[in-house]
Amino acid sequence: MDIAILGGTGDIGAALALRWAYHTDHHIRIGSRTEEKAAAASDRYVTTLADYDVSASIDWGTNDDVAAGADAIVLAVPPYHARGLLETVASVLTPGTIVITPAVGMKRTDAGFVYNPPSTGSLTELLAQSAPDKVSVIGAFHTLPAGRVADLDADLGMDTFVVGDDREAHAVVCGLANEIEGIRAVDAGGLVCAGAVEACTPLLLTVAQRTEKMNDLGVRLV
């Protein structure tokens, strides 16, 4: 598959790019607002992968460039930019493109991180409403600790919750998740369930904020 990671220079974008390039044969494209940033990130990932004896070819370009014709795009940007980014690239998406959203709106308070969804109920649902026809939005990868996932030596042993109404697209994203060694895709329901999935991210950040040695954790159902 051709997977475009928009905002692919950030933490979760880097983690997914490295892992897919390492564990799979998918064709990865790194998108950013500027070509230069995307090229630099792609170089970094290729160099890292070379250290693991993986000869990867990772494309790069502006978000628009890499989104065009991709089988799946990941909106690896801060939550408040996700909708605008999707609207920006909407015209270049092919019917059937899967839009994957890992972002979560939240507020940091002294008592912990608080989930802060849009009034639609969740960012995933908001994006689904904003997406062009024949483009399905699937929520996934919210709870992955990006730094740890980006470390190709790290054992993960964790789950990712996958939500979405288009069951075919949902199955594709579960497949993409399961191809990463140590990650198990878990069906967390339709779009209406996305809020409960997104809320796990502030929960994990709160635990990290309050307890030493409990940072960079993921979730495992046991």
The residues binding a copy of itself (CB under 8 A) are: 109-115, 157-158, 161, 163, 165, 186-193, 195-197, 199-200, 202-204, 206-207, 209-211, 214, 217-222
- Residue 203's Cα: distance from chain center in Å? 18
Between 85 and 163, name the residue whose CB sits nearer to a copy of itself.
Answer: 163
**Structure tokens of 58?**
């990772």
Distance CA 43, CA 14 (A): 11
Contact 205, 117 (CB under 8 A): no
Write down the least CB distance from residue 150 to a copy of itself, Å.
17
With H, G, I as helix, E, B as strand and everything else as coil, classify residue 154.
coil
Write down the least CB distance from residue 49 to a copy of itself, Å.
25
Between 110 and 133, name the residue whose CB sits nearer to a copy of itself.
Answer: 110
Distance CA 5, CA 146 (A): 14
Distance CA 119, CA 33 (A): 28
Write down the least CB distance from residue 158 to a copy of itself, Å.
5
Distance CA 10, CA 136 (A): 23
Between 130 and 209, name the residue whose CB sits nearer to a copy of itself.
Answer: 209
Distance CA 220, CA 205 (A): 16
Between 51 and 222, name the residue whose CB sits nearer to a copy of itself.
Answer: 222
Write down the least CB distance from residue 70 to a copy of itself, Å.
27
Write down the least CB distance from residue 178 to a copy of itself, Å.
13
Between 121 and 132, name the residue whose CB sits nearer to a copy of itself.
Answer: 121
* Residue 196, phi then psi, degrees to nearest 5: -65, -35
